[in-house]
Structures are given as C-alpha cells and as structure tokens.
C-alpha cells in the first residue's frame, strides 16, 4: 500500500467510524424493504462449498480461459438462496473469456423476510450484516482462500444491500479488490465517492437517487475505467431476488447488466497485465529503433 492509499484509508476509517449507524435503512428505497422476493424456475450450475464456517455458492464454467480471476457477488437483504442470484452468477462466469464466481452466505442463513416485524429490521441488519465484525473479515477470508488456490485477481459486485458492501470494499479493501460493480444499490452516498480507491461501475434503477455526481467523482479519479448506466425503465431489485426474469424486458435488462459488468471487470482485472505488456512492447520498440539508428550510422559513415 503506498502513502496515498494509507492516507485515504485513515480518512475513510474516520468518516465511517463517525457514522452511528453503518446501514441507515432510511436511505433505502421503499421497494428495497417491502417488495417480496420471487421464486425462480432455474437450476443452478454451480455447487455449495464451505470456506471455514462460511457457506458459499461457487461456479466456474468448463474450459474457463481465466482461472486466475474471481468475482464475489453480494446480494440483497433476502440472502443468497434465491435462484435468480445464482443464475446471474452463472452467467457472469462465462462473460469475457470467463471468471470464477462465488456468492458467500454472509447472513449465515438468517436472511430477512418481509413478513417479519419491520421494527426489527435495523437491529437485524446491524447484527447479521456487521461490516467490521462479519462481512469485511469474511471477504478477506474468501480472498485468501482462493489466493491459496491460484487466483490472482479479484473484483466484487453487489445488488441493493450488496451495493453498499461493494462500496465499502472499494473504500477499505483496495489491496484485495481491483474493481467494484453496483447494481440498484441501496444506502450509498455521494460522500463515499471521495474515498473510493478502485474503479466502479454504477447501475441504479429508477427507484434509486441520481448517481451522476458519484460517477463524476469516479471519472475524475479513474477516467474511463469506471462506468455509469441508469435503468429508468426498471424497478429496484430487478436483477436480484425480486426480479421477474420471465418478463422479456426485465430479462433483456438483466442480460445488459451482466454484459456490461463482464466487460468492465475484464478491462480492470487485466489492466496490470495489459500495462506490463505495454511497457515491454515500448521497451522492445526503443531497442529496435536504437539498433536501427546505430546500424544506419555505422554503414552510413562508410558510404
């Protein structure tokens, strides 16, 4: 971590620790808290695994050309058991020559149910989704688990509550993740954009606030490595547990989200390798030109 990253980390910790409530549910759209999840007719392609005491869904497509890249998906308050989430993960795995994809069960089976008493929601969220005590350590453990198995590059995407998690990861875990994608995110504020340390792709629906200011800050920091696409014809949760994938327009928009995230992650996860290759290429060009000039001078002097 360089000196600038250290300074930003200290600032981000100060800002985040100043918040009395990490997840202020007053910032969440009504649809986030009141709309029921939908049971989907889909058979997941992956498998359940254990990472320490953490259950996770994992999928890697056959003949994956990039086994050293992993995406961590984070869902909404209804947890990771809904098949829509696994369908999106399965499709993400085959984008842009392939990724490994994993969905960890951060809630450990205690996902939210809209039939529960709404007065319990904030206490539940702070308890099962505790960033410093649960989710952040879980993310680090997941990264280390896959590093030990040969994975080199990591990115994260999140929907609804998961969008907040993907934002916190972009602020505090830049030494682990190279890019972050937000899909109809909740609980995210413009102030956080100032302390984000990795490129992000923003995909709000019509029910989220305008994220143009957030994106402009990202552009000033990362240029074209970040992105923004607002879905004004989609409701909050359309790619997650609330999404009705049998609706043709929703299905089209979900496919668009997956495609755009695939391109975004492919670009940012390969950035180091691409930059390295570019340096090597420029070095080769330099020595070729130097040799050409030397030969020209040597023989030219004899003419």
DSSP symbols for 172-230: H-TTT-S-EEEEEE-S--HHHHTT--S-EEEE-BTTSPP-HHHHHHHHHHHGGGSEE--
Question: Strand 153-160's sheet: what is its strand order?
Answer: 47-51, 54-60, 100-104, 69-74, 153-160, 180-185, 200-203, 227-228
Split at pLDDT 50, 70, 90, the class of 95 is: very high
Residue pair 73/103 in contact by the 8 Å Cβ criterion = yes
Q: What CATH number did the domain enclosing 204 receive?
A: 3.40.50.1820
Lowest-confidence range among 150-154, 169-173, 247-251, 279-283? 279-283
Supply the DSSP symbol for 150.
T
This prediction has a pTM of 0.80
> Is 299 a domain residue?
no
Considering only 114-118, 147-151, 170-174, 249-253, which range has the smallest mean pLDDT?
A: 114-118
Q: Is residue 279 part of a domain?
A: no
- Give the model's pLDDT for residue 240: 82
The more confident residue out of 279 and 166 is 166
Residue 201 covered by a domain? yes
Give the integer Cα–Cα distance in Å for 272 and 241: 34
Q: 132 in a domain, yes or no?
A: yes
Q: Band of the pLDDT at 39, cuts 50, 70, 90?
A: low
Residue tagged 């049998």 (tokens): 246
Structural domain that includes position 48: 3-269
9 assigned to some structural domain: yes
| Model pLDDT, residue 17 | 42
Residue 63 inside a domain? The answer is yes
Contacts of 256 (CB under 8 A, 6+ apart): 229
pLDDT of residue 281: 36
CA distances (Å), origin 169, targets 47, 74, 77 = 25, 11, 18
Name the residue with higher pLDDT: 31 or 297: 31
- What single DSSP character describes residue 231? B
Domain count, the chain: 1
Q: What tokens were used for 243?
A: 């999404």
Nearest to 240 by CA among 112, 54, 65: 112
| Residue of higher predicted confidence among 287 and 56 | 56
Examine residue 280 and state whether it is found in any structural domain, yes or no. no
Is 277 inside a domain boundary? no
């Amino acid at each position: 971590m360089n000196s600038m990253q250290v300074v930003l980390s200290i600032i981000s910790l100060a800002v985040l620790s100043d918040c009395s409530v990490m997840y202020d549910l007053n910032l969440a759209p009504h649809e986030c808290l009141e709309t029921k999840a939908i049971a989907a007719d889909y058979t997941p392609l992956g498998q359940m695994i254990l990472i320490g005491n953490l259950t996770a869904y994992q999928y890697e497509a056959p003949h994956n050309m990039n086994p050293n890249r992993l995406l961590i998906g984070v869902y909404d308050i209804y947890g990771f058991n809904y098949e829509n989430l696994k369908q999106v993960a399965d499709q993400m795995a085959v984008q842009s020559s392939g990724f490994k994809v994993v969905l960890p069960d951060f809630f450990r089976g205690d996902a939210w149910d809209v039939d529960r008493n709404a007065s319990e929601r904030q206490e539940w969220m702070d308890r099962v989704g505790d960033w410093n005590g649960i989710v952040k350590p879980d993310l680090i453990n997941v990264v280390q688990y896959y590093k030990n198995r040969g994975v080199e590059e990591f990115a994260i995407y999140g929907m609804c509550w998961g969008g907040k998690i993907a934002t916190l990861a972009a602020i505090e875990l830049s030494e682990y993740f190279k890019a972050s994608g937000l899909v109809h995110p909740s609980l995210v504020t413009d102030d956080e954009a100032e302390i984000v340390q990795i490129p992000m792709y923003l995909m709000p629906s019509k029910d989220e606030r305008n994220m143009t200011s957030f994106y402009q800050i990202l552009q000033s920091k990362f240029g074209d490595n970040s992105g923004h696409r607002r879905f004004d014809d989609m409701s909050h949760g359309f790619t997650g547990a609330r999404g009705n994938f049998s609706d043709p327009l929703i299905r089209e928009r979900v496919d668009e989200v997956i495609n755009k995230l695939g391109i975004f992650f492919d670009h940012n996860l390969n950035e180091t390798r691409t930059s390295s290759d570019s340096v090597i290429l420029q070095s080769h060009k330099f020595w070729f030109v130097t040799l050409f000039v030397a030969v020209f001078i040597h023989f030219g002097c004899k003419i």
